[in-house]
């Protein structure tokens, strides 16, 4: 082959290679995996999520957020980065600042304890949209969306269940940290129990006081508190204590011997579904707080360009809270619980928050 023909052939091959490369680039942009993994033509961009204490795997509040962000990731192709604070939560603001500086346009702060940090950082990172779960700034901020829940309504329903099932006319409540948010759980639970049995005893125990937030991730303290409540006469105990709830379940298992049945009530997610077989035998129900729904819906709104600042509320009527029936332990009283549920939805029953 002459030198001139060889050069012409080489030029053709190089041109074909460039065309093939360009086609390959189009596949990556329009039909490849995108930022969020194997999602067809979906590339939803970057999303940051900073957990509360306990992080992924707490089988409660944080894991409910995980469920929502995983759904959004699968459907919209988000590239999600997760961060978890130290055991005491001292580095919450540091982590929130870090993920904001890295250019994540949507950032989730999971838990009311992030409120002060969001208030401080949001004006500094105006291009970032923050979703603050369970927290509400005192004044509206243009790039902050708060999601709140009617925890007292769901807690009222499990309080009704506890009163109907209690054999000792004595139930208990364990709060992780004594703050206004957790007092809502206590208030609703107490009101529900006393609506059924006005003379029922409701004993209350908080694991820690602010600024110590370790009560949300200390199963040993949860177990100790539960054993004390059971020893004091309670046969059903409800917790709003995050990862510490595992200690409650273990205490109920250990105390249910010799024909004695103790019950525990879970929180935030249907904790029966993630419990051990032994624990499933003592989890009467759970107050379901659908953090997953709030996370998914706000992610979808962000993807669609419709995420607005301000407060989004999730209650019984909107399906934001509820109670679980896994295990079948409430089958005989479900109709009674649902009667109270409908009265709350209709407004006939006003559930206290304090």
Q: Name the E strands within 136-282.
A: 144-149, 170-177, 201-208, 236-240, 263-268
- In this prediction, the residues of the chain whose per-residue pLDDT falls under 70 are 1-44
Structure confidence by residue, pLDDT tens digits, 98-116: 999 999 999 999 999 999 9
Measured CA to CA, the distance from residue 286 to residue 266 in angstroms comes to 4
Residue holding tokens 């992080």?
55
- In terms of phi and psi (left: phi > 0; alpha: psi -120 to 50; beta: otherwise), the region of 93 is alpha
pLDDT given for residue 55 in this prediction: 85
Read off the DSSP letter of residue 128: P
pTM: 0.79
Give 113-120 contacts, CB < 8 A, sequence gap 24+: 113/52, 113/53, 113/89, 113/213, 114/50, 114/52, 117/92, 117/93, 118/144, 119/144, 120/93
pLDDT given for residue 43 in this prediction: 54
Biggest alpha carbon distance in the chain? 105
Q: 323 near 158, Cβ under 8 Å?
A: yes
What domains appear along the chain, each with residue ranges and CATH number? 45-149+293-314 (3.40.50.2300), 151-288+324-346 (3.40.50.2300)
| CA-closest candidate to residue 77, choices 108, 110, 107, 32 | 32
- Residues facing residue 149 across a β-bridge: 314
CA atoms within 13 A on the CB side of 286: 28
pLDDT given for residue 92 in this prediction: 92
Measured CA to CA, the distance from residue 243 to residue 215 in angstroms comes to 8
pLDDT given for residue 257 in this prediction: 94
């Amino acid at each position: 082959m002459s030198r001139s023909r060889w050069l012409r052939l080489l030029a053709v091959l190089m041109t074909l290679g460039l065309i093939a490369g360009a086609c390959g680039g189009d596949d990556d942009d329009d039909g490849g995996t995108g930022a969020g993994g194997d999602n067809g033509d979906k590339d939803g961009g970057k999303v940051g999520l900073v957990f509360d204490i306990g992080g992924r795997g707490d089988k409660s509040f944080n894991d409910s957020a995980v469920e929502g962000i995983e759904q959004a990731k699968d459907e919209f192709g988000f590239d999600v980065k997760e961060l978890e604070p130290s055991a005491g939560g001292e580095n919450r603001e540091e982590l929130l600042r870090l993920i904001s500086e890295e250019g994540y346009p949507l950032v989730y702060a999971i838990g009311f304890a992030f409120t002060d940090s969001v208030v401080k950082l949001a004006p500094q990172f105006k291009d970032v949209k923050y979703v603050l779960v369970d927290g509400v700034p005192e004044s509206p901020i243009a790039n902050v969306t708060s999601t709140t829940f009617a925890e007292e309504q769901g807690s009222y329903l499990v309080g009704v269940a506890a009163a109907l099932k209690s054999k000792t006319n004595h139930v208990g409540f364990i709060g992780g940290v004594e703050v206004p948010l957790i007092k809502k759980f206590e208030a609703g639970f107490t009101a529900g129990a006393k609506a059924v049995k006005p003379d029922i005893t409701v004993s209350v125990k908080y694991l820690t006081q602010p600024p110590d937030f370790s009560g949300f991730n200390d199963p040993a303290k949860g177990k100790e508190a539960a054993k004390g409540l059971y020893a004091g006469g309670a046969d059903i105990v409800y917790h709003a204590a995050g990862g510490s709830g595992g200690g409650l379940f273990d205490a109920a298992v250990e105390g249910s011997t010799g024909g004695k049945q103790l019950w525990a009530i879970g929180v935030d997610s249907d904790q029966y579904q993630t419990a051990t077989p032994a624990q499933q035998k003592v989890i009467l129900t759970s107050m379901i707080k659908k953090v997953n729904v709030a996370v998914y819906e706000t992610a979808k709104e962000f993807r669609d360009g419709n995420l607005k600042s301000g407060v989004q509320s999730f209650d019984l009527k909107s399906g934001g809270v509820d109670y679980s029936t896994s295990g079948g332990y409430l089958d005989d009283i479900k109709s009674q619980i649902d009667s109270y549920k409908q009265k709350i939805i209709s407004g006939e029953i006003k559930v206290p928050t304090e």
